[in-house]
Amino acid sequence: MILRNSRQTDAAMHVAHPPSDAVTRRDGGSLAGLAIAILATNGVEEVELTDPAAALRQAGARTVLVSPQSGEIQAMEADVNPTNRYHVDMQVGQAHAHDFAGLVLPGGTTNPDHLRMDRDAVRFVREFVQEGKPVAAICHGAWTLIDAEGVRGHTMTSWPSLRTDLTNAGAHWVDRDVVTDGMLVTSRNPGDLKVFCPAIVAMFASAHAASHATAAQMPQGHAT
C-alpha cells in the first residue's frame, strides 16, 4: 500500500486513492516495475500529492511516500484547510536514490520549508541530482531543490514567490505551465497538474528507456 488515507469517508477515498495495481498494471504501462519516491511532510498540498501518484500508478509505477517522520502526514488544501492524513511508507533517513527510478516533490508552503531544514531530506534529494536521476517538482516543491544544489543552470518554473530564490541559486526562471529541462520537470501550481502529470510520466519513462539502452551498449565481461 502506498498512499493510504486515514479518513474513511467515501469522498476522501475518491480523492486520495489512485486505481489499484490490479487495474493499472493490466497492460504493463510505460513505468511498469519502477519505484518512484514522493517526498513530503506535514503541510503538503493534497492534490499535488495525490494527482501525480495516480498518474504514475496508472502508468504502472509503484509510488513510495517518503517523509522525515513515521506514521502519517497531514495534507492541506491551499495551505489553510486540513484535508486527509497519509501513511508514510519509508522514513527519509533510510531512503536512498539508488532504490528509486525518480523523485516527485509536491508543494504546499510549509511542506518544502520543513524538508529543506531536514538534513536527510536534503541529502536524499541531492542524491537524485548527483546520480542524474529524474526529478519532478511542482509549486513550492522546488524550494528543497535549492538546498540540494539541484537548480543551477536549469530553466524551470515554480510558484511565483520562489522566482527570486531560484534565480539567486542559478536557475533561469520562466512563467510556463510546465518546463522540462534535462532530468528536471517543474510546474507552477495545482492548476498545472493536467500538464504536469503527463510530463512526469513521459520523463520518467524516457529516463528509464535511456538507462536500459546505455546498459545494453556496455561491453559484457568474459569469463577466464
The one-character DSSP state at 94 is G
Q: How far is CA 61 from CA 77, 134, 189, in A?
A: 26, 14, 23
Residue 139 a catalytic site member = yes
The one-character DSSP state at 123 is H
Q: Which of 31, 139, 146, 178 is catalytic?
A: 139
Q: Which of 76, 72, 149 is nearest to 110 (CA)?
A: 76
The Cα–Cα gap between 17 and 123 comes to: 29
Beta strands in the chain (DSSP E): 35-39, 44-45, 62-67, 72-77, 81-87, 90-91, 102-105, 135-138, 155-156, 172-173, 178-181, 184-187
Q: Residue 221's beta-bridge partner residues? A: none
The Cα–Cα gap between 62 and 6 comes to: 20
98, 130 Cβ separation under 8 angstroms: no
Residues with catalytic annotation? 139
